[in-house]
Amino acid sequence: MTSASAEREAGAVSATYRWLVTITGMTAAFTMVLSGTIVNVAVPNVMGAFGVGQDEAQFLATAYIATMTASQLLNAWFVAVFGQRLAFFLVLILFAAGGLLCAYSPTLDFIIFGRIMQGFSAGIVQPLVMVTIFQVFPSHRRGTAMGIYSMGLVLALGLGPVVGGLTTDAFGWRYIFFVPLPFVAAALLLGALFLPGGRPGGVRPAFDWTGYALLCTAIYCLMTAIANGQRDGWGSDSILMLFTVGIISAAGFLHSQR
């Protein structure tokens, strides 16, 4: 689609529809950001529940952020394969499933896996929402739309620790993973009503799975090395190995993109 045709398509939709799409996307993104910050205050409780140290418990945040970073690169391919609406549904359902897994996890490993599921969803949703907002707003209104959308993200950043602390004190740490679920349900309903459906026309884009695997390996190894370096010692064999593999993988990724 050319920029001129995109402008014509954006101008053909009503102002009400544009703002409904914005609210839909903001609800989903609000949920992802809220989940990213709400967990931080419960880390001491998780440590006590499973008898683990700070270095292990911090993977609740590290796993989420690392997976979110890696999955953002999959967004264009994911939308091309499934279409905007179905991609939106799939990642929100995956996000909710990850939250339920965290809430009912018998071990810390299950919680970390649930956070990986949620981080993957967040990495797909946020760029998907921004692209959708750009599609329905003409160029001279996109700044306003993105400003309002960003307000929801800032609100989630501020509310996350507060809501997490209150929920943990009142009900227990497991209940913080239930807090985002009503917002997920609202986003699914709004998405069914207002998000564009269908797959983009044309041939599906090829995806560089080799480069993506190298990048994911680099992110995982480097973040794990940084997270565990203080505990294991920066000169320990395990940390040096992680740094080595991470740097080699990053170099391999850069070389594959030449």
Q: What is the DSSP letter of 1?
A: -
| Rounded Cα gap, residues 151 and 66, in angstroms | 24
Render pLDDT for 49-95 as a digit per residue (tens, 0 to 9).
998 888 788 888 888 988 998 898 888 888 888 888 999 999 999 99
Tens digit of each residue's pLDDT (9 = 90 or more) over 177-231: 999 999 999 999 999 998 887 665 556 667 888 888 998 899 889 988 887 887 7
Assess contact for 37 and 161: CB atoms under 8 A. Answer: yes
Reference 52, options 112, 102, 104, 108; nearest CA is 108
Q: Rg of the chain over CA atoms, in angstroms? A: 20
Positive/negative CA dihedral, 155, 88, 60, 71: negative
Name residues whose C-beta falls within 8 Å of residue 176's C-beta, 6 or more positions apart in sequence: 38, 39, 42, 163, 164, 167, 168
